[in-house]
């Protein structure tokens, strides 16, 4: 999407910045969960905290209450700056938009999907210290993929080759450009479509 010209707001990168040494959120996490979840330099130990919150739903809710408002604030500031710069297609890359209900605040919901087995193997490959049980807990903390697909305006299926994924992403980007053109003209967005149907 970025290579197609979209601006990407990476929610995970925003969280990473919020949990650096000395931030208000790092101080809140330390007060809520203890200094044992800080690294030697004073940042939040995301790996250790992740191991805790993905086996403790109330703890995960407390962490989300600390992090989510700050991420939303930064995202809105970034989007406002982009609007002043002339706008364009802006995509927020975030895992929990459906779970929090925030997907309703966006013009379109794009779901990136793959098979459950592939999702698990990719998660384990990305985080080599993660056990299979811990990976299952992380996936279970998200809404079922079928629920997200049911809400999606567009779907990018990534179970195939990188070439296939790229083609699908380009098709979705083309539809988003059409949506943006409608919005700029003050027209209602078209009915939800599947990118595969447009090819």
What pLDDT shows up at residue 127?
A: 87
Q: Angle 99-101-107 (CA atoms, 0-180°, nearest 5)?
A: 120
Whole-number pLDDT of residue 95: 87
Instruction: Flag whether 60 is in a domain.
Output: yes
Please determine, for residue 199, whether its predicted confidence score (pLDDT) is greater than 80: no
In a domain, 159, yes or no: yes
Q: What is the pLDDT of residue 106?
A: 95
> Which of 52, 70, 88 is the last residue in one of the domains?
88
Looking at the structure of the chain, the number of domains it has is 2
Calpha distance 181→131 (Å, rounded): 46
- The CATH number of residue 187's host domain is 3.40.50.300
Q: What is the domain extent for residue 177? A: 95-199
Asked whether residue 1 is domain-assigned, the answer is no
pLDDT recorded at residue 194: 56
pTM of the model: 0.86
122 and 81 belong to one structural domain: no
Classify 160 in phi/psi space as left (phi over 0), alpha (psi -120 to 50) or beta: beta
């Amino acid at each position: 999407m970025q290579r197609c010209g979209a601006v990407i707001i990476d929610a995970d990168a925003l969280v990473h910045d919020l949990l650096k040494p000395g931030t208000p959120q790092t101080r809140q996490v330390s007060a809520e969960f203890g200094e044992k979840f800080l690294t030697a330099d004073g940042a939040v130990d995301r790996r250790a905290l992740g191991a805790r919150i993905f086996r403790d739903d109330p703890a995960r809710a407390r962490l989300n209450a600390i992090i989510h408002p700050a991420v939303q604030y930064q995202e809105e500031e970034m989007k406002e700056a982009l609007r002043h710069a002339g706008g364009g297609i802006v995509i927020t890359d975030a895992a929990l938009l459906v779970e929090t209900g925030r997907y309703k605040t966006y013009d379109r919901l794009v779901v990136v999907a793959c098979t459950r087995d592939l999702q698990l193997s990719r998660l384990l490959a990305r985080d080599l210290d993660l056990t299979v049980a811990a990976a299952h807990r992380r996936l279970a903390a998200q809404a079922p993929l079928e629920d997200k697909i049911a809400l999606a305006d567009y779907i990018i299926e990534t179970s195939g080759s990188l070439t296939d994924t790229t083609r699908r992403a380009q098709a979705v980007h083309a539809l988003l450009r059409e949506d943006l053109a409608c919005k700029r003209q003050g027209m209602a967005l078209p009915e939800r479509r599947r990118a595969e149907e447009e090819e």
